[in-house]
Amino acid sequence: MIQYQSQNVDLILEPRWIIPVVPGNQTLEKSSIIVNEGKIIDILPSDEALLRYRTKDHLLLDEHVLIPGLINLHTHAAMTLMRGIADDIPLMPWLQEHIWPAERELLSERFVYDGTLLACAEMMAGGVTCFNDMYFYPQSAAEACVKIGMRAQLGLVVLEFPTSYATDSDDYLRKGLDVRDSWRGNDLLSFSLAPHAPYTVENRTFEEVIKFSEQLNLGIHIHLHETLEEVAQSKLRYGVSPIARLASLGVLGPNLVAAHCVHLQNEDMDLMKEHGCHIAHCPTSNLKLASGIADISKMVNVNLNIGLGTDGAASNNRLDLFSEMRMAALLAKGVSLNASTLPANQVLAMGTINAAKALGLEDKIGSIEIGKLADLTAVRISTPELMPCFDPLSHLIYVAERRHVSHVWVNGELKFHEGVYANIEPHEVKDISSQWQSKLSPYKI
């Protein structure tokens, strides 16, 4: 018998199942995850783990499946405060007649802090440990993320027109980059440049975005080919599709995350594949705003990297990655008329490692592997609506809901457990909701 000298560690997790995501389509049983100093240092059979490691924090999760923390690849967190103020309206009227007027009156540092904190609480309770944001006042968003202890890549939004946050594209860039500089070194936060969309950003500004992206090694986060109207307007004004225009400007590249991409022709997919771009698929928002249904099966067939996003709660109206995973799988099968399209393992990868790759964080998060950060989510598979369970991986996509999430860890620290947050009190979330609901009520249609 091999004799081990046991090592002291911070945490041992012993779930019924582990789905590591990498390697793909694998489920481990009777195995444990060893966490020390925020990282996964070992994954091994549970009986061996008890011989090799000692800890004061050994958690037996015998009704649970443990997965990597989910990653929301596209959202506007602070817009959670506008959840439900303008429903059943197409995208452009929704923006121009309802969302933008409300923002003109109420957008502020406090609005963004409160809205982002509310969004983080919702996402964390649903197993999300990291999100890719795009909104104003990133300093306030950063403060909210650090407060609750959640990972985020904050998109430094760029527009041509003025808001209470900035006056023009140069001002947006300057203020955003100042915020990025002030948070350098914080391991929960990373940043990208976020030109809003081809129809709100001019060529000169895109050139500036590219310059800073290359100089500072920053990703680019943009809405792209979301509606037929967007594509038609681009062809009328520029003579080419938005993707072709961005290609000619040099915007496309392996650091680009393009949200929606509902209306892609074969040549558009070829361009994105050629340049190594990533797609943030937001099926629920695309349906609710009647933008259309993205043909994800075609994108998968050309090997585009696809992650999942919710979009903002103002257009979804949930920040629920479990709903998005199920919706993505079912829509892909329906559109392709092929039940084997987008199987459960591929969909879970879209909600984890694919999104991590899109954010340039695949060496840190997105899978349960030795050396990666311990961003983890436990889902309890024991209630009647989840029984029986023959395949926990399939169950995660087709049966489980966010309400079945029991534990969430970020950097190996327990941030959420059975409805209780480590860093915020329930009354804080309720107070935020009630205060802003009265201010936003005049904008409710």
Q: Which tens digits make up the pLDDT trace of 176-186? A: 999 999 999 99
The mean pLDDT of 344-358, rounded to a whole number, is: 98
Query: How many other C-beta atoms can be found within 10 angstroms of the C-beta atom of residue 345?
Result: 18
Banded pLDDT at 371 (limits 50, 70, 90): very high
Q: Return d(Cα 69, Cα 356) in angstroms, integer.
A: 10
Where are the CATH 2.30.40.10 domain residues in the chain?
7-68+376-410
> Is residue 4's pLDDT more than 70?
no
Write out pLDDT tens, residues 258-288.
999 999 999 999 999 999 999 999 999 999 9
Q: How far is CA 250 from CA 231, 246, 254, 272, 278, in A?
A: 19, 6, 11, 12, 15
Domain spanning 70-358: CATH superfamily:
Metal-dependent hydrolases (3.20.20.140)
Residue 1 — pLDDT band, cuts 50, 70, 90? very low
440 to 137, 264, 432: CA distances (angstroms): 19, 36, 12
Segment 152-168 shows an average pLDDT of: 97
- Region 236-255: mean pLDDT is 98
Helix, strand, coil: what percent of the chain each, to 5?
Answer: 40, 25, 35
Q: With 60 as the cut, is the pLDDT of residue 191 above it?
A: yes
How far is 132 from 431, CA to CA, in rounded Å? 25
- In the prediction, which pLDDT does 443 show? 79
Confidence grade of residue 100 (pLDDT, cut at 50, 70, 90) = confident
- CATH match for 7-68+376-410 among 2.40.160.20, 3.40.50.1980, 2.30.40.10, 2.30.30.30: 2.30.40.10
pLDDT beyond 90 at 164: yes
H or E segment to which residue 57 belongs: none
Instruction: From 205, 209, 77, 210, select the one nearest 147 (Cα to Cα).
Output: 77
- What was the pLDDT predicted at 137? 98
Residue 158 CA to residue 76 CA, distance in Å, equals 14
The ranges of the chain annotated as CATH 3.20.20.140 are: 70-358
- pLDDT, average across residues 21-25: 94
**Cα 417 off chain centre by:** 21
The pLDDT assigned to 3 comes to 52
